[in-house]
Structure 1
Amino acid sequence: MSFTDLPDNCLWKIFENVNGVIDLIQFSKVCSRWSDLIRLRFNRVKYCIENKVDYIDENSLWINHNTNWNDYNLFELFPNLKIIDIAVLLETASLLDIVRNNPRIKGLIAVWDYIDDDYILTNIEMIAAACEFDYEAVFYNGPNLSSLKILELGTSYFVEQFTGFHFMDFCPSLESAFFQCWAEDIYVNESIKNYNLRDLVIDNIHSGSFLWPLLKKLVSKFPNLHHLAIRNFDKLDDSKFHLDELIKLLPKLKLLDLRRFEKVTHKSADFLSKYCVKKNRSIVIYYDCENEPAEWPKLVNTRETICYGFDFMKHCFYKKFSSLPNLIDE
């Protein structure tokens, strides 16, 4: 039996198992029947992302920037592209032309130097860009970012004073936050509360001032916090952590992640267990111990460039800062 004799559902199944994007493009030129079947797959592609190998999966096109794409109109072949990594496409067209001619594009993974024309961002809703933001003794004085739901901030070098938590005070609708910093001092204004924050990760904070008094000021800003992670820190132990005060400050706390918090042990876990029985509360605690239960979630080291589904707990909470996704597509 030849390919032409196969029913459409068999051909479609064959094309679904071909991952070479160049191969599929060539197959689509064989005849209108093949083109129609392959187009069904191309229409599902929403993301164009840089990769070492050119291939296509369920909803993403992964392409090598060294491949010559001048002979292919990717935006015609993949009409529903929503997020693009512009580094792989700038050889074929300017960013201005790409965005202006393809209004369906809502997200960019970019190098900030390429984004120099404000008007090209009219339809853009998401941007992930490599840029330097100076936290050192610089206090934000712009407008409130009232629509911001997720904030992730980190320093790549040591600073004298980290002001990222001050910036957070201008995000009244913030629901989830992830911080990492190396600083001599950390600025916290405990008088400004955020009643919407549910998830907070403080990962790998290197600061001589980040002891219980500062931690107390920080968590008191978020009285409705549900999930708190403080990881990779060795300045506090069971006796200095003041777990009893912490959980009183956070009456809605459900999960406390202290893994890689080297000096917090089973003593804190035992205290929390007795407290929950006495107060009829349910709080899960994760910490480093010799016999860690297998069902406990692990810190995720793998990194996805784009995650699907607006779920901070699923895509961000348990990861390292370096493993966070560039964008989350709601």
Structure 2
Amino acid sequence: MSLNDLPDNCLWKILENVHGVKELIQLSKVCSRWSDLITLRFNRVQYLQTMDTDSTEDKVDYIDANSLWINYHTNCNDDWNLIEFFPNLKIIDTALDEAFNLPEIVKNNPQIKGLIGMHTLSRCGYLENIEMCATRFNFDYKKVFRPDQLKQVSALWLKMKDLPSFIEYFPNLKRLNLHLIANYYFYNGPNLSSLKILELCTNCFAGKFNGFYFMDFCPSLESAFFQCWSYDIHVDESIKNYNLRDLVINNAGFIHVVRNSSELSWPLLKKLLSKFPNLHHLAIRHFDVSNSDLEELIKLLTELDILDLRKCKKVTQKSADLLFKYCVKENRSIAIYYDCENEPVEWPELDTTQESIVHGFDFMKHCFYKSTIYCVPFLIDE
């Protein structure tokens, strides 16, 4: 039987097992029927991404469900046009500027909404259609983006003293991922009234960790991930956030410095958590949380559904048993995760991988179970 005697759904299944880009392009030239089926697959591709630079020299360019993966080491576009074959690209990695004429592509294709990196694009004038950007903002962003253009930003090593003017220029951000050079500056700028997701890390041991102070300027915030390096944390418990549902606090300084830290004791953590009375999902990692602290915590957070205490050495099976008894008594249901030898299969795993781009504006799915802030995605495509 010839392949052309197969019904479309069978031929489609066969072609779905071919992933190499050049191979698929060659197969699309066999006949119009094959071209139509492969075009449907190409039309699903929304993201142009670079393969991991480690050991990729021999890997061929390929596509998966929604991404086109290009080997940075190859000259791949001699015989095919990127937008002609993949007309629905939405987010691109600009590290591939040498392989493709990205300035022209970005400016002439308004469906492209997101950039990872800037490279030569920062020198190409206004990029009118871009709404999401992950890069070092070490260029004059006012010559690239118009006011209020960006809705999502991942900014590497932005200075705290420069943050107020940045927020003033992009006041309606929905997600902000900041690796911040904080030093001893405290944020003193406009509110981020539209911000829903905040992920923040400051440079190591640089004065007070003032991320929680910055958080007070985000009244609509629903989800947050903090990587704390400093042992000195500023908390204003008088300001409440009733919208926050998801919170991750990773005490990264505890990993690298062996000493007792009174600043990160339970009293300060309790003061911090009291700011978020409607919290549903909480992860606190690398803290010393005793069983008595745990009981206080769940009494404080009456809406809590998930409590992730992995990497907290004092939390054991005994802690989980005490929590279970309390929940039975109070008619509550709280899932607790902690380090144990045989974790139940239904427990989520702490994720140590990073996906540059993910689909769906869902913090719990894409960020909550990441082991560090360095593993959260650069961009979340809504």
Q: Please tell me whether the aligned partners of residues 135 and 164 of structure 1 are also in contact (alpha carbons under 8 angstroms).
A: no
Look up the equivalent residue of 1:225 and give its one-letter code: L
Contact 2:231 2:264 in 1 (8 A): no
Q: 2:363 maps to which residue?
A: 312
1:81 pairs, out of 58, 72, 89, with 89
Q: What's the TM-score, normalizing by structure 1? A: 0.89
| 1:238 aligned residue (269, 291, 310) | 291
The answer to whether the 8 Å contact 1:65/1:89 transfers is: no
Distance 1:40 1:157, change over 3 A: same
Unaligned 5+ segments in structure 1 are: none
State the aligned residue count.
325
The structure 2 residue matched to 1:217, chosen from 271, 284, 287, is 271
Q: Distance in 2 between matches of 1:143 and 1:151?
A: 16
Alignment correspondent of 1:46: 46
Do structure 1's residue 284 and structure 2's residue 335 form an aligned pair? yes
Deviations 1:112-131 (A, max 9, x none): 785456731x3222222242
Query: Which moves more between the two structures, 311-320 or 290-299?
Result: 290-299
Structure 2 Cα separation of the partners of residues 18 and 108 of structure 1: 28
Match of 1:270 among 287, 300, 321: 321
The aligned counterpart of 1:323 is 375
Cα separation, 2, equivalents of 1:140 and 1:75: 42
Query: 167-176 vs 153-162, which deviates more?
Result: 153-162
Partner of 1:152: 199
Which residue is 1:126 aligned to?
Answer: 132
Structure 1 outlier segments of 4+, above 6 Å: none
Q: Shift of residue 4 of structure 1?
A: 5.5
Return closer, same or farther for 1:16/1:94 CA change in 2, 3 Å cut-off.
closer
Contact persistence 2:227–2:252 (CA under 8 A) = yes
Which secondary structure does the structure 1 equivalent of 2:303 belong to? coil
Distance in 1 between residues matched to 2:105 and 2:216, nearest whole Å: 36
* 1:288–1:124 distance in 2 versus 1, CA, 3 Å: same
Q: Once structures 1 and 2 are overlaid, which stretch shifts more, 4-13 or 194-203?
A: 4-13
1:295 to 346, 367, 375: 346
Q: Secondary structure at the match of 1:61?
A: strand
Structure-2 residue corresponding to 1:187? 234
Match of 1:14 in 2: 14
- Residues 12-33 of structure 1 show CA distances to partners (whole Å, capped at 9, x for unaligned) of 3332221000111222234433
SS of 1:307 mapped into structure 2:
strand
What amino acid maps onto 2:110 in structure 1? P
- Maintained 8 Å contact 1:48/1:61: yes
Residues 206-215 or 287-296, more deviating: 287-296
Asked whether the equivalents of residues 309 and 329 of structure 1 are also in contact (C-alpha less than 8 Å), the reply is: yes
What 5-or-longer segments of structure 2 have no aligned partner? 137-155, 158-179, 255-260
SS for the counterpart of 1:161 is: coil
Distance in 2 (alpha carbons) for counterparts of 1:204 and 1:79: 44
**TM-score between the two structures when normalised by the length of structure 2:** 0.78
Cα gap change, 1:9 to 1:265, in 2 (>3 Å)? closer
Percent identity at matched positions? 66
Contact 1:70 1:92 in 2 (8 A): yes
Tell me, what secondary structure is at the counterpart of 2:107? Answer: helix
Query: Equivalent residue for 1:63?
Result: 70
Deviation at 1:195, TM superposition (A): 0.8
Pairwise CA distance, 1:63:
0.7
> Where does 1:191-202 land on structure 2 (aligned, <5 Å)?
191-202=238-249
Task: Render the CA deviation track for 1:288-324: whole Å, top value 9, x for unaligned.
Answer: 2345434322212233222222222122211212322
